């Protein structure tokens, strides 16, 4: 199935890429097979990736500040209504995308590795695209100063990247999890400095008021109050997971500590391309 046909006059700035190796729906990798006459960044044969969105309005405040993912009119790569039909993302055999929403993948990195990495090892560029929402809070002057004590809640794909980026920014990192069997992975494989079981009341109590920020990657229902308690005054709880149900929020601890709870989605194209 072809998502959209080959570039025509309206698509002079667009790139078509094959989908032979992509496996996922919202973030995809492939080889450029055609380019429009005005395409400047890509040529046929390039290895490229497309993240969660394939278009935005290009004129709102978010778009002009390189935060297209926050554009009210952004178009998701899969399952969205587009001007000429529905976006099928990784379900399609080929896709035509404006070059603004495409990133290069280095020649030395096999697409199979990138694609497999998205599911298994959760490494490489696809993950950077998928999980740039983790990078964003760390680089928006929220939590990016070396020496900060950062908590990472949950150790799935998002949590892995949160630990790696927080360590790269020079933070002291504590992984907070409900699973004791994640400790070895957190400490030995990812380089976290400490590991905290969220049901361990004694250790949770001992950690109260010690974290500058927390990146909460958990999408399952979970209480926020214990996490708020772990923050120092002025600390920030950054939600990057997406629980489906409304969460209970105790406001008083926020008032007393001037603490903040914020959300963060994926990064814009400029931020994502920085890691090319
Ligand atoms: Zn916009």
What does each of the 276 residues of the chain score in pLDDT, given as a tens digit?
Answer: 233 333 343 456 666 665 544 444 667 888 899 999 999 999 998 888 888 889 999 999 999 998 898 999 999 988 888 888 888 887 888 888 899 998 888 777 666 656 544 433 333 344 444 455 666 666 666 777 889 999 999 998 889 888 988 998 899 999 999 999 999 999 999 999 999 999 999 999 999 999 999 999 999 999 999 999 999 999 999 998 889 899 999 999 999 999 999 988 877 787 777 644
**Ligand 1 midpoint to CA 74 (Å):** 7
Helix (H), strand (E) at residue 269: helix 269-273
Candidates 3.40.50.970, 3.40.605.10, 3.90.79.10, 3.90.180.10; CATH matching 9-130 = 3.90.180.10
**Using CA atoms, how far apart are residues 196 and 158, in angstroms rounded to an integer?**
17
Predicted structure pTM score: 0.77
**Ligand 1 midpoint to CA 76 (Å):** 13
Q: CA angle 19-242-196, nearest 5°? A: 110
**What does the pLDDT look like over 162-208, one tens digit per residue?**
898 899 889 999 999 999 999 999 999 999 999 999 999 999 999 99
Candidates 3.30.70.260, 3.40.50.12280, 3.40.50.10140, 3.40.50.720; CATH matching 132-270 = 3.40.50.720
**Ligand 1 midpoint to CA 69 (Å):** 8
**Ligand 1 midpoint to CA 101 (Å):** 13
**Ligand 1 midpoint to CA 144 (Å):** 27
**Ligand 1 midpoint to CA 37 (Å):** 25
**Ligand 1 midpoint to CA 146 (Å):** 33
Strands 194-197 vs 172-177: parallel, antiparallel or unpaired: parallel
Look at the alpha carbons of 21, 24, 25, 30 in this order and tell me if their dihedral is positive or negative: negative
Which positions ≥6 away from 138 have C-beta within 8 Å?
Answer: 144, 162, 165, 166, 169, 215
Residue with token string 């696809």: 126
- Residues paired with 15 in a beta bridge: 35, 97
**Ligand 1 midpoint to CA 41 (Å):** 22
**Using CA atoms, how far apart are residues 243 and 93, in angstroms rounded to an integer?**
32
**Ligand 1 midpoint to CA 184 (Å):** 43
Domain residue extents for the chain: 9-130, 132-270
Residue 116: predicted pLDDT: 44
Helical packing angle, 132-139 and 157-168, nearest 10°: 30
Residue 24: predicted pLDDT: 46
**What does the pLDDT look like over 40-54, one tens digit per residue?**
999 998 888 888 889
Measured in whole angstroms, the distance separating CA 10 from the mean position of its chain's CA atoms is 31
């Amino acid at each position: 199935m072809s998502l959209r046909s080959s570039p025509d006059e309206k698509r002079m700035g667009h790139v078509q890429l094959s989908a032979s190796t992509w496996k996922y729906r919202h973030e995809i990798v492939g080889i450029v097979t055609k380019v429009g006459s005005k395409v400047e960044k890509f040529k046929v044969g390039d290895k490229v990736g497309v993240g969660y969105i394939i278009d935005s309005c290009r004129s709102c405040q978010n778009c002009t500040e390189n935060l297209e993912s926050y554009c009210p009119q952004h178009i998701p790569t899969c399952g969205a209504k587009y001007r000429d039909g529905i976006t099928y993302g990784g379900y399609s055999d080929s896709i035509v995308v404006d070059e603004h929403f495409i990133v290069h993948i280095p020649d030395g990195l096999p697409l199979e590795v990138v694609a497999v990495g998205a599911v298994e090892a959760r490494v490489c560029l696809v993950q950077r695209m998928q999980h740039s929402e983790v990078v964003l809070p760390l680089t928006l002057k929220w939590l990016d100063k070396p020496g900060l004590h950062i908590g990472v809640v949950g150790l799935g794909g998002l949590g892995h990247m949160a630990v790696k980026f927080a360590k790269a920014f020079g933070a002291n990192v504590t992984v907070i999890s409900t699973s004791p069997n994640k400790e070895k992975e957190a400490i030995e494989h990812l380089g976290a400095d400490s590991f905290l079981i969220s049901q361990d009341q004694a250790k949770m109590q001992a950690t109260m008021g010690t974290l500058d920020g927390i990146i909460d990657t958990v999408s399952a229902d979970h209480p926020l109050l214990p996490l708020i308690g772990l923050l120092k005054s002025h600390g920030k709880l950054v939600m990057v997971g997406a629980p489906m149900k409304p969460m209970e929020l105790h406001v008083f601890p926020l008032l007393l500590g001037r603490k903040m709870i914020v959300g963060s989605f994926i990064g814009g194209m400029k931020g994502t391309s920085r890691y090319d």
